[in-house]
Structure 1
């Protein structure tokens, strides 16, 4: 009887051993491959109409205590796993309803701990958000800005591919400053000036190094609101009218409203 119990115990221990080795999220206990623990910190915000699903090598990522497989708006997730040998981890972001592949990211054991951060909106997807740095205000009572323009030419169709400058004035026409080199892919240098009332300011967009509008024959301006002791990261957006034609530029989208920057 004792021998029978011993054989049964050995059988179940062996079964548990092989089952654990088959789990992709656990470290293999045999073989010649080198296994390493991996971690990707996901930090993002989606303003898209549809929810987003994340898969890693085809497996859905569960989010939150509810273990949801899709999210809207803010997402924060420490995703931990094991790199088996030189295995690549492929993160795919997909629209839940349309199944459109929105973004693909690839990670390897060359960097076992990494961060994936993004901001998503219709026609906009910005990566490496947490690496951004809002400008540091030099003294109290100031406000400051950095700008990016990912939808430049989306509706205006100008064909202009250079950088833009932003000429910033108060409502009475007083010049506050000029921010240079606003582009599609990187944030501009930092500009700051003292806060004053009324807080509304006007920025005119021109071709870099000139006073010429980036849209031939059309002056392009947008209103912004100063906030005392605030440093903003503004995403400029071209807008369209009901017919799909260019209708102006909006500058109200501020990344510091969605992320905490260190």
Structure 2
């Protein structure tokens, strides 16, 4: 026969409190373990989900963009140098993949891999070549000042960092600007590229307004020229405002 256990209200409350504390403690331990597992998983990150890739294009801008993207991804995903070096092949395709198979033994560190990419696909240009490309083209009428300045500064960035200060770079660039900018921006009024871009944007905005006004005025003049009265066939007025029609009607009424 089962024995009945009797508890006072106080004992029952104590038992319930003990169960509650035990449950809270267990949940806390589980959360801590989950956080540790998440940190461990993050620490063991890889390039498997990285969407940036490289096919072997020999273009300085493309190469630098690829390197910047994967370095940033590596930092954000907390990928170790060892895992990054092991997984970098996942980011190559085509010619780059074939190239990596041949040189991967030369890369013993992550920095070695980055240096090899630059060395093979974007080798440092000699200074004279950079200057030739820089002065090769002047700004055309259709070139926005932002785009033009960005491309020219990207070329200058391929020179050693101590080669020119900003003032000298402005001197080099100023003579390549389109005359529509140089007419309104004197070299003495710009102390930085920020100054140049701000003033250049104002000029572009004003020019755009002038073109829109000119187009509107042309359309208005054109519409006036093409207005022709269907009664007398003369231009410049409509049937409703034709004086000849009004005069003829008056004469007809007078004759009646």
TM-score scaled by structure 1?
0.27
Q: Which of the pair has more CA radius of gyration?
A: 2
Q: Between Structure 1 and Structure 2, which shows a larger proportion of helix residues?
A: 2
